[in-house]
Amino acid sequence: MKQVKFFILFFVIVACSSTQKKIDSQPEEESLPQEVIVASTPAFPIVTPEAIKESMEYLASDELEGRATGSEGIEKAAVFIENYFKKNNIKPYFETYRDTFKLGDIIGYNVVGMIEGNDPKLKDEFIILGGHYDHIGEGKEVNGDKIANGANDDASGTIAAMEFGKHFANLKTNKRSILITLYAAEEMGLKGSAHLAKRLKDNSLNAYTMINFEMIGVPRSEDKTMAYMSGYNRSNFAQTLNKYAGEEVVGFFPKAKEFNLFFRSDNFPFYKEFNMPAHAISTFDFTNFEYYHHVDDEADKMDYNHMASFINKMIPGLEGMMNAPTKEVTLSDE
């Protein structure tokens, strides 16, 4: 009996010592509220590079022929995403996963899934996460290759949104509801996201905020923030997300305004329809990847450790915003 007590006492002392060591090792500048630090600890298995790579190697494969809207390749991509949603208990928001639209003779599909919130009141408010799963189909031929696979643009953002959906659908801790929205016809002028944003507005969706993931497959240089956000000064989204993430995951990119990035990605139709904070987050800054709309934008060019790190760092930030008792993210006067 004495031996048992000794081991119990030894375990308690070691556990306390270990906890104290972790607390003492926190850098002094990270003076975050205790609840933020706790929120930064994943409560569900982290997203792995292997899982991301598996999805990427299909979505950016030659079999899908560059995922041009209206093609057989993008149809295969839509089926892949639908099956992923089903497997991970992400429910359709509409009667089916597909939000169908026409562009002349072309039929396009947005793919829309939902994770219902668990709070009786807050679940009526929606956070929208998205990315475009189409690409341009064919590009300028290089060494006999014409297929513009679109790994970074934007299979990477599509997979990020899918992984966030899987995480929250399995964790079931989100108080607000989440829409995972993947768009076709982005490459034709944001047509898919414009159709979906208008449809959701017409359906009186109570949308809180929207974030679009655009080209997150390659890392920025070490002296820059991991990611940047378009329309940085249009809201306090970045500051709020970074607070819950426990570090500056999303920063300011001076050239974003010069390049009009806020208006050039699928966040803009949601801003236009709902007049709410809606931004695109990217890690591609025009210096770190030379294959934009190029046939060499392939799966083997992606940095899967970087992608997994970005997604895992974003999770507590998104979770904090989803579960805050009030709408902390608000529009600003730029």
pLDDT bin (cut points 50, 70, 90) of residue 333 is confident
Residues 241, 244: Cα–Cα separation, whole Å: 5
How high is the pLDDT of residue 45? 60
pLDDT-derived band at 32 (thresholds 50, 70, 90) equals: very low
Q: Indicate whether 15 belongs to any domain.
A: no
Residue 33 lies in a domain: no
Mean pLDDT in residue range 75-101:
98
Measure the CA angle with vertex 72, ends 88 and 59; round to 5°: 45
Q: What mean pLDDT comes out for the span 312-324?
A: 97
Is 23 contained in some domain? no
**Which tens digit of pLDDT belongs to each residue from 134-157?**
999 999 999 999 999 999 999 999
CA angle 221/136/281 to nearest 5° reads 35
Rounded mean pLDDT of 301-325? 98
Tens of pLDDT along 221-251?
Answer: 999 999 999 999 999 999 999 999 999 999 9
**Is 332 among the domain residues?**
no
Judge whether residue 21 has pLDDT over 60.
no
Both tokens assigned to 38 = 């706790």
Q: How many helices (H) and strands (E) does the chain have?
A: 10, 11
Q: What is the mean pLDDT of residues 318-333?
A: 96
Q: What integer best gives the mean pLDDT of the chain?
A: 89
User: Would you state the pLDDT for residue 254?
Assistant: 95
The answer to whether residue 170 is domain-embedded is: yes
Long-range contacts of 291-296 (CB under 8 A, 24+ apart): 291/152, 292/152, 292/153, 293/136, 293/139, 293/148, 293/153, 294/139, 294/140, 294/142, 294/148, 295/139, 295/140, 295/141, 295/142, 295/145, 295/146, 295/147, 295/148, 295/149, 296/142, 296/145
Taking the C-alpha atoms of residue 15 and residue 73, their distance in angstroms, rounded to an integer, is 54
Distance CA 188, CA 30 (A): 44
Give me the pLDDT at residue 132, please.
Answer: 98
Query: Would residue 14 count as lying in a domain?
Result: no
Q: Is residue 10 part of a domain?
A: no
CATH number at 62 reads: 3.40.630.10
pLDDT at 316 over 90: yes
Residue 31 in domain:
no
Q: Please compute the mean of the pLDDT values over residues 64-69 and round it to a whole number.
A: 98
The Cα–Cα gap between 183 and 279 comes to 15
Percent above pLDDT 90 for the chain: 86
Q: Quick one: which H or E segment has residue 245?
A: helix 237-245
Q: Work out how many domains the chain is built from and give that number.
A: 1
Query: Quick check: 270 and 278 in contact, CB under 8 A?
Result: yes
Residue 209 pairs with which residues in a beta bridge? 127
* pLDDT beyond 80 at 297: yes
Bridge partner list, 126: 177, 207
Give the integer Cα–Cα distance in Å for 90 and 92.
7
Q: Is the pLDDT of residue 290 over 70?
A: yes
pLDDT at 46: 87
Average pLDDT of 272-287? Answer: 98
User: Looking at the predicted structure, is the pLDDT value of residue 212 above 90?
Assistant: yes
Whole-angstrom distance, CA of residue 278 vs CA of residue 51: 28
Whether residue 16 has pLDDT greater than 90: no
**Whether pLDDT at 20 is above 80:** no
Domain hosting 252: range is 43-175+184-323
Of 59, 41, 21, which Cα lies nearest the Cα of 317?
41
pLDDT, residue 30, reads 36
Provide the 10 A C-beta neighbour count for residue 55.
19
